[in-house]
Structure 1
Amino acid sequence: MVEIEVVFGERLHGGASIVWGSLIQPLKKFNENAVVDGFTGKEILFSEVSNYLMSNKCRSFFIELASGSVEFSYVADKEFYRLDIKSLVNSIETAQSLIEALINVSGFVQARVYDAEYDRWQNAENLTLFEAECIEYAHLPKKSNGLPFPLTQEIVDISKNPGRWVLRTGYIEAVGAFMWVSKFLLQVMGVNEKKLMDVDCFSIEDLGSVVKIAAYDRCFTSAVGAEAERQALLRKVLFNA
C-alpha cells in the first residue's frame, strides 16, 4: 500500500485549516460524501470539514474516509507538524497529486511516498511483534532498549536499516523512492543543490522552492541490492547519514 508522509515546519500559517483546505480538491476524486472525525467518531459531510475544523479551532485532525485516513498533528518535542495519509491511495500518480497540492503551503519541509509494509518492518524493534506475525528474527542484529532493570529488553537494532526513519528537530530523516524536499531543508542540511542535481541515478525536478526527487521507478520494498544502494545514497546526500 502506497502511503504519504509530509512535514511542515513551525513557519506553517493557518495550521490544520490551511492543510485540509489544500487537500480538498485532490480528495474530491475519492467521491466521499461523508467522513468521520477519528477523534470523536462524529460523522461530517465532506463539504463541511473545513468549517468544522475552524469552528472547533482544531490544531490537529484525524479524518477517516471510506478507504483510508488523513491525520495531521504537531510533534511538539521536534518542532514540526506531520501529515500522514494512510491506506487511501494505490498509485504514485495519486500520491503525487496530493503532495503537490501541499508544496506551496508556507512551512512545507518535505514529503515522501513509501510502501507501508516495508516501512513497518524496517522500523520494527519489538521482538513480540515478529513473534505475533510468525516472522523469523534470529538473524537480525539486536541491542538493549537502554532502559534500567526491570524494564530492560532486547530489541531489534534497526540503526543500519536503509528504510529506517528518525525524528529530528524540524524534520524527519527518512527516504522514499519519490521525495519532495524544500530548498529550506537543503540549506539547513548543507546540501549542495548542484551536486544533488548531478547525481546520475536520480531524476531531479526543480519546482521553485522545492526539489522533487525520483530515486527509483517504484516504492522501495527491499533492504538489499540496488534498492538498498539507492536508499543509502539518498540518505547520504540529503542527511549525511
Structure 2
Amino acid sequence: MGDANRMVEIEVVSSERLYDCASAVWGSLIQPLRHFNESAVIDGFTGKKILLADFSSYLIKNKCQSFCIELANGSVEFSYVADKGFYRLDIKRLANSIDVAQSLIGALIDKSGFVQARIYDAEYDRWQNAESLTLFEVECVEHAHLPKKSNGLPFPLTQEIVDISKNPGRWIFRSSYIEAVGAFMWVSKSLLKVVGVDEKTLMDVDCFAVEDLGGVLKIAAYDQCFTLAVGAQAERQALLRKVLFNA
C-alpha cells in the first residue's frame, strides 16, 4: 500500500469518570467532524440513517452508553472495555493526515478522565497484531518466516498462531489503559503515575519531542506514523514502549 493511500487511525482511552453517557463524547467531536460535510450518519448497530444534527439527542433519548457510527467512508466507535475498566474511542478511515487526526484528538484531551491517545497507521497496526494464520493465507501474505506458538487452548481448539509478543507495534489491554505506542501520542500524567514513569525521564529522551500541555504530555517520537517493524522505526517503538510502560 503506497503512503498516499495510507489512513491515519486514532485511538483514545479514557477512564470511567470521564463520560456519564456516550452523548458527551459525541458532543466533543461534533465540531471537528463538521469538516467532513456529512449531513447524515448511519448507526452501526441498527443500520438506521440519522441526521448528523440529531445524533446527540438520539443518543440521549436512547440512553446509549456506547455507539458506532459510519460516516464519510469511515467510522467512530465508542465502547466500554468492562474487564479492564476503561472507555475506548476508535476513529477509523476518517483522518487522511496527521493534522486532521491531531484536531480530532485535541477536542478530547482537556476532559477530566482522559488517559491516553495515539495516532497510528491502520495497515501496519493490523498486521503487527494479526495472530490467525487463516488471515495471512486468505490475504496471501507470507508467514513462514514469522515465529509461531500454540494458542494455549485445550484440544480440539488448539491451533498454531503467530507469536506477536516481540512485535514493536503490538498492543495489549492492561487494567485502566492500553500498552500501545504510536509516533504521536498523548499521555496523561495520571497514567504515568499508574505505570510508575517519571515525567522527567520521558522529557529527557533526546529523540522524542515532548510537550507539556498541563495534565497531559504530547510525545512526537517519529516524524510520521510507524509503518516498519525493523530498523530505526523498530528501535524507536521499542524505546517508546520501554520508557512509557517499562516493557
In the superposition, the TM-score normalised over structure 2's length comes to 0.96
3-state SS of paired residue (2:130): coil
Amino acid at match of 2:130: A
Does structure 2 retain, via aligned residues, the 8 Å contact 1:3–1:115? yes
3-state SS of paired residue (1:139): coil
Q: Residue in 1 aligned with 2:80? A: 74
Quick one: percent identity of the two aligned structures? 79
Give the whole-Å Cα distance in 1 for the aligned partners of 2:138 and 2:8: 24
Q: Residue in 1 aligned with 2:158? A: 152
Matches within 5 A, 1:1-241: 1-241=7-247
Question: Structure 2 unaligned runs (5+)?
Answer: 1-6
Question: Structure 1 unaligned runs (5+)?
Answer: none
Does structure 2 retain, via aligned residues, the 8 Å contact 1:114–1:220? yes
3-state SS of paired residue (1:140): coil
What's the CA shift string for 1:4-51, capped at 9, x where partnerless?
000011121333111110001100111110111110111111011111
Give the whole-Å Cα distance in 1 for the aligned partners of 2:52 and 2:69: 10
Give the whole-Å Cα distance in 2 for the aligned partners of 1:106 and 1:13: 9
Give the whole-Å Cα distance in 2 for the aligned partners of 1:235 and 1:78: 20
3-state SS of paired residue (1:204): strand
What's the CA shift string for 1:75-118, capped at 9, x where partnerless?
10111000000011100000000001000122110000000000
What's the CA shift string for 1:139-178, capped at 9, x where partnerless?
1000000000011000000000000000011000000000
Distance apart, 1:66 and its partner CA: 2.4
Give the whole-Å Cα distance in 2 for the aligned partners of 1:202 and 1:228: 14
Does structure 2 retain, via aligned residues, the 8 Å contact 1:142–1:157? yes
Give the whole-Å Cα distance in 2 for the aligned partners of 1:133 and 1:50: 39
Does structure 2 retain, via aligned residues, the 8 Å contact 1:16–1:60? yes
In the superposition, the TM-score normalised over structure 1's length comes to 0.99
Amino acid at match of 2:93: S
Give the whole-Å Cα distance in 2 for the aligned partners of 1:53 and 1:225: 46
Amino acid at match of 1:129: L
3-state SS of paired residue (2:126): helix
Give the whole-Å Cα distance in 1 for the aligned partners of 2:111 and 2:41: 24
Which aligned runs of 4 or more in structure 1 are off by greater than 2 angstroms?
A: none
Give the whole-Å Cα distance in 2 for the aligned partners of 1:50 and 1:122: 35
Q: How many residues align?
A: 241
Q: Residue in 1 aligned with 2:3? A: none
Amino acid at match of 1:179: M
Give the whole-Å Cα distance in 1 for the aligned partners of 2:48 and 2:113: 30
